[in-house]
Copies of this chain bind each other. A is one copy, B any other.
């Protein structure tokens, strides 16, 4: 603005600018990070400045004037931005940030898909079948056009199992539905093992190449999304793979600066195959192994002098919101029995799956209320930690899940995508300290938002609603750890800076299911880590 010549209007201008600063400050005071921002150390102020400067510089150099790809912008859809994002200084800096906890993720979609396939290839027990005919001898094993019934299946079979057919799974003589050893199917692939691997990985992931045209709607991409879980569960259902996979979950979290993981586990299958070949590992065994792996990783970390970098992991019991009430009550009794056996592991109960197409919480109300009584009767504590509001709707039966979840005392809300449409519910979440497990990249890929810029997370943050950022299903989406999701939120708004992310990390601890004693200890550890991290940034070594 032209301020070269002093004018009689200056006083009006000064008054406007003052009122402006005040109004902006007043609005920022509602935000979740206001208190922290009011009490920064000099080092924190400097780190904030440095990170904002890097973001501003890369906004131009990496995104706006990128000469390899046109039409980029910071915060754009992860399918397009992943490879660019991961080369930025900002991302590298976020990789080493102490991020606290992953509070929203699904156990069977947590590791790099390549890791899972490599594990499966180690074991002759692993088999594959094609249900409707031979597998295609080139290209993907399944496309978005395929029906679920044509999806290849994977399973572990005891060593004693003799395949009925010696034919190639790609030949016309292949009898649909007959199990073929995975290694044989791989060796037989007409194009080669690499093509086989690519085809299997394609079943386990939603690839960045998947176009908007392939999956134009949330419904469409949910079908593909659901199919990846079926494949993943087939590959995971064998003790040695399950063990290795769990360990990898924890190590890849640690690798990304995450020290605590709350995994939702789907307990729909009654058993998985033991290392011995017997199909008799029940839910109690699943948790025993989970506990063993957590302890193993703790021990290994202690040996490396890195105990502070891994605090542990717990389980949220889940079943899918297509079950009937009688099955749900069985699952609830199972959950209660497991809680008694593993009180430190079972931390909550949830119903998962595509909200828009499956049953609303209202359908299960009587069972859910019954569960609360049963849990109390047993002298236990198993809070609900519901998925709710993962929908584009407003004021409909699905969106209403938010009302039921809150009235049922949900400890946190998974996704809560439609919560931003509900001023009263946002206020209740603030008052009752219900944190929203926001999964930015998951919402982008599952077609709830075209980019972080349209994601309601900024509305939640600006309203002071407690939020924890999470990755949901990184095996499928490619967003391992929390760095990608942190990155999106950081570049999605000028209101959000490094300090905001620190508050989000701290909130992930505060809203975790840790017992109060452990929580206190971990908060103290995290604060130490955070201060060290800030010093590294300020020293220019991040």
Residues of A within 8 A of B (CB): 1-3, 7, 9, 12-13, 16-17, 19-20, 23-24, 26-28, 30, 71, 73, 212, 216-217, 219-220, 325, 362-366, 369-370, 373, 392-396, 399-400, 403-404, 406-408, 420-425, 448-451, 453-454, 458-459, 462-463, 492-496
| Minimal Cβ-Cβ distance residue in B for A364 | B1
* Pair A13/B494 contact, Cβ less than 8 Å: no
* Pair B27/A394 contact, Cβ less than 8 Å: no
Q: How far is the CA of A28 from the CA of B403 in the complex (A)?
A: 12
Q: How far is the CA of A373 from the CA of B16 in the complex (A)?
A: 14
* Pair A395/B459 contact, Cβ less than 8 Å: no
A396 surroundings in chain B (CB, below 8 A): 493-494
Give the shortest distance, in Å, between A194 (CB) and chain B (any CB): 30
A27 surroundings in chain B (CB, below 8 A): 422-425
A493 surroundings in chain B (CB, below 8 A): 393-396
* Pair B459/A366 contact, Cβ less than 8 Å: no
* Pair A71/B395 contact, Cβ less than 8 Å: no
Q: How far is the CA of A453 from the CA of B19 in the complex (A)?
A: 35
Q: How far is the CA of A88 from the CA of B404 in the complex (A)?
A: 34
A216 surroundings in chain B (CB, below 8 A): 71
With A26-B424, A492-B394 as contacts: A1 and B365 at CB distance below 8 Å: yes
Extra inter-chain contacts (12) besides given A392-B451, A395-B493, A421-B459, CB under 8 Å: A16-B407, A16-B408, A19-B407, A20-B400, A23-B403, A71-B217, A212-B212, A394-B462, A394-B493, A394-B494, A449-B454, A450-B450
* Pair A407/B325 contact, Cβ less than 8 Å: no
Q: How far is the CA of A11 from the CA of B13 in the complex (A)?
A: 63
Q: How far is the CA of A115 from the CA of B21 in the complex (A)?
A: 48
- List the 6 closest A-B pairs by CB distance, nearest first: A395-B495, A392-B453, A394-B493, A396-B494, A27-B424, A395-B494
A496 surroundings in chain B (CB, below 8 A): 394-395
* Pair A421/B16 contact, Cβ less than 8 Å: no
| Minimal Cβ-Cβ distance residue in B for A80 | B216
28 A-B contact pairs sorted by A residue (CB < 8 Å)? A1-B325, A1-B362, A1-B363, A1-B365, A9-B370, A9-B373, A13-B365, A13-B366, A16-B369, A16-B407, A17-B365, A23-B424, A24-B403, A26-B424, A28-B395, A30-B423, A30-B424, A71-B216, A212-B212, A392-B453, A393-B453, A393-B494, A394-B462, A395-B493, A396-B493, A421-B459, A421-B462, A423-B462
Q: How far is the CA of A420 from the CA of B461 in the complex (A)?
A: 12
A3 surroundings in chain B (CB, below 8 A): 366
A26 surroundings in chain B (CB, below 8 A): 424
With A1-B365, A425-B27 as contacts: A394 and B458 at CB distance below 8 Å: yes
Q: How far is the CA of A365 from the CA of B16 in the complex (A)?
A: 9
* Pair A71/B220 contact, Cβ less than 8 Å: yes
Q: How far is the CA of A424 from the CA of B459 in the complex (A)?
A: 12
Give the shortest distance, in Å, between A31 (CB) and chain B (any CB): 9
A393 surroundings in chain B (CB, below 8 A): 453, 493-494
| Minimal Cβ-Cβ distance residue in B for A7 | B366
Q: How far is the CA of A373 from the CA of B408 in the complex (A)?
A: 57
* Pair A24/B400 contact, Cβ less than 8 Å: yes
A364 surroundings in chain B (CB, below 8 A): 1
| Minimal Cβ-Cβ distance residue in B for A326 | B2
A363 surroundings in chain B (CB, below 8 A): 1
Q: How far is the CA of A425 from the CA of B370 in the complex (A)?
A: 43
* Pair A369/B422 contact, Cβ less than 8 Å: no
A448 surroundings in chain B (CB, below 8 A): 454
With A1-B366, A404-B20, A494-B396 as contacts: A422 and B217 at CB distance below 8 Å: no
* Pair B407/A459 contact, Cβ less than 8 Å: no
Q: How far is the CA of A125 from the CA of B396 in the complex (A)?
A: 57
A450 surroundings in chain B (CB, below 8 A): 450, 454
Q: How far is the CA of A421 from the CA of B420 in the complex (A)?
A: 9
| Minimal Cβ-Cβ distance residue in B for A391 | B453
A71 surroundings in chain B (CB, below 8 A): 216-217, 219-220
Give the shortest distance, in Å, between A449 (CB) and chain B (any CB): 6
Give the shortest distance, in Å, between A51 (CB) and chain B (any CB): 15
A458 surroundings in chain B (CB, below 8 A): 394, 421
| Minimal Cβ-Cβ distance residue in B for A453 | B392
A20 surroundings in chain B (CB, below 8 A): 400, 403-404, 407
With A462-B394, A494-B395 as contacts: A23 and B370 at CB distance below 8 Å: no
CB contact between A394 and one of B212, B404, B451, B495 (< 8 Å): that residue: B495
A495 surroundings in chain B (CB, below 8 A): 394-395
